[in-house]
Structure 1
Amino acid sequence: MAMLPSEQAPEHRSAVLFELFVHSVVDYAIYMLDVDGRVISWNPGAQRIKGYSEEEILGRHFSVFYPENDIAGGKPAEELLIAAEMGSHEDEGWRLRRGGERFWASTVITALRDENGALVGFGKVTRDLTERLKTREENSGWQQAFAHFVRAQETERRRIAWDVHDDSIQSMIAVSMRLQMLAAQRRDPALMHLDEAIQGAIRRLRLLVAQLRPPALNDDDLVASVRDFLDDVVEGWGLDCTLRHDFTAKPPPDIVVTAFRILQEALVNVRKHANATAVVVSLTSQDGGLLAKVVDNGDGMKTDAETSRDVSSGEHIGMASMRERAEAAQGWFRISSGPGDGTAVAFWIPLGLPGLARR
């Protein structure tokens, strides 16, 4: 009667357990080659991934798993040579299943030597990464599309800013100068009041130009951009500004611009609507992304019953803009507020490949 593994000598028991392990693994192809590269062992994972039964593949050269161009270039032999010289060889690339179907594989070839150091064969482990490659390509395509979208938005903002500055503002300045001359000649208070209204419109347009393309925006450094915007702009609104951060990552320009624009809109809303005296901006690394918050000590927002609308639905154009930017970056946006409690805006956007937004 055969002995159980626990009743066998330690060396033999280890070999039996290892053999059980190899034949229990189905997510990896684990097989051995002789010194010439012919298959001499085959586990169920290899059959599942590559499609060959043990009877079909034993004795065949492992180059059968490589595309024709790799075989013509001598890749299988080169990999064995490197493994023999270096001890092992790792690679990612296209491999073939039975029938010629391609799949993206991660492979490791390990040289096997006896107690005297003589080469006796190779062990090879192959993992099918086709789905991971598809995800990587999809994410890469999404990132390119998102970066293009952000660049297009910023280009349009610059164009509008230039048009407003070089056309609308200059035309209004010319009108204002003429009104001032007429007002001085005729001593007409109505003309002076009209000029004051035009001067006010010019100031608002200049503010719009600054918001469309703020000098503080440096798409290589989010923290510096936010700090400069707080120092150069927000403090000028009479707000006590605090920036708190432990954020040291260097996100790509499209993420920097997206985060800055959301923060900018949130701060402009504080100025327009909050009746606040202080605002705190925080930037934190969390869950592989940026968690940003803008918290003010203002009046807070009225309840839905008082406003007759769902605040969380993003009906307000400023909130809609912030939410759309965050969600376009595969992140999330939320706002919490109550009468007399101030308002807290928070959003999270991933810094790497987009994934499930964490709430």
Structure 2
Amino acid sequence: MSDDRTRINSIEEMRFRLLIDAVIDYAIYMIDPDGIITSWNAGAKRFKGYEEAEILGQHFSRFYTEEDRKAGLPQRALDTAIREGRFEGEGWRVRKDGTHFWSHVIIDPILDPSGRLLGFAKITRDLTDRKMAEETLKQSEQQFRLLVQSVTDYAIYMLAPDGRVTNWNLGAQRIKGYRPEEIIGQHFSLFYTPEDREAGEPQRALDIAIREGRFENKAWRVRKDGTRFLAHVVVDPIRGDTGTLLGFAKITRDITEATQAQQVLEKTREALFQAQKMQAIGQLSGGIAHDFNNLLTVILGNLEIVRKRAVDDPRITRLLDNATQGALRGVSLTQRMLAFARRQELKTESVEIPTLIQGITGLLRSSLGPAVIIETRFSPELEPAMADVNQLELAVLNLATNARDAMPDGGKLVISAQTEEIHDQPQLSLAPGRYVCLSVTDTGEGMDDATLGSAMDPFFTTKGVGKGTGLGLSMVHGFTEQLGGRFILKSQKDVGTTAELWLPVALANSTTEPATEETAMSRVPRLCVLVVDDDSLVLTSTSLLLEDLGHRVISAASGAQALGLFDCEHDFDLVITDMVMPKMSGEQLAQAIRVIRPHLPIILATGYAERLEGFAARLPRLSKPFTQLNLVEVIALAMK
């Protein structure tokens, strides 16, 4: 019986040893009361690298780092196991090859039935991977904390579920002005404007973040010093693993400067678009006016000849007069279009603004009526402006008429002027220099933004069908631009409108350009005239008018054809050429003729005011549409 029990115990002991040896995830071994290793399993061999024959009989302290051995940690672990019945801890251990691994260690004392210490059971687990992961996470959290704390362009902070501030970064301090000790524990609604707090905006932001998973908005916020800034705000809820709301992450960015810069950029883009639009419409208007002037030249020229040759019949005379008046209305329309396109003929001179306004005061009062009070305000230091008197008077009358229509129940019209020095003001689009700012201000209905944006467009009008051409303001715009100035229109609905004409200050020696008209009945000898125009209708009409005056006319449809006629030994006394022609312009033709016949008089006929330089700028010019009287006058000037 005793032998059987011994055999059973031996089998159980062998099974237990096989079990221990089979464990490879734990180092399980025995040490005697002095710390000498007395057993070694497969797990210990895998973790620590020692074969059983190498390590049995060695002291277990060899697994500790040198620093821990010097600090007495091996013995302290055994003492703790004896004193408390168990030792458990974590720390760095050393493998056979000298590499370190992080281990979790349990040491249990082994006692016999009498309580005598037989040794210790030691279990070690390699937790290096977990330790590395923890260290990486810790380092990541530290780096993230440092990153958040170092950000100065964003206010990044946390809120408790009830909205109290729980932390505060440098960006929050810079943007909002509070130090951490001043704001942590305070409710975040402190940053909202009073009106937003009264409207419940702070709680609404948190409710949306909880309900939708995110809140984002742009709104005004308040700094510690009471100043306001435009903020872009994002609020995200923070939840635990179970979905419990832990608080909120709040990110705020000061976008005041960026928004203002964007607004300036938008205004600049709008101004550029407006300038490009006006330039494009101006080019279109100028081209239309040029072609229309050619047609009017033909119509008026032929009407004039027909009238001279028609029988003395009142009915026919009335028809001719009516047709002529209609054509002259077309002339007025094209002149306004050319004014907008900055291609009208201007006779610039030094203009005293107070004198000019005083000269048309009577006309203004009769046009505006008794319900409108006219007031003038002129600076004592006001300098004369460089302008065309007739065009400037017409511009003021146009503006005054618009003001009257905006004040159906009466009001006040203020005409003022002062000298301004422009240095660098891109918003005015004016070259540096001195300008006279002539303002016409009314107390009328004013314009909304949409109407104001289109007010200077040609043919745009708010006066209804048949009550205006829509060219008044566009004409003023083109007139001031052609002078090198600027027309600025300011208006506010139900407040009134101010129109500003910025005109260059006249030079000290500015004088009126000499008049080109001669006496209508000047006697001019019979001439041989070369007429050049690519428009056959204009060419025929001009030739007929000249022939009716008794001149001999030779015509050419192009510059090249005209030059060819000089080889045919024609003895021309005068050349009248259109300015705008394909391939060879009138200016180029005039230059070529000057080479052949240096002293031959040349007249440039034009549908609008081209910019000319050199000798061409000094040549007589015949503006289309022209009458026979205009031809007599310009021929007399050219033949002097």
Higher helix proportion: 1
**TM-score between both structures, scaled by the size of structure 2:** 0.29
Q: Which has the larger radius of gyration?
A: 2
Higher relative contact order (CA 8 A, sep 6+): 1
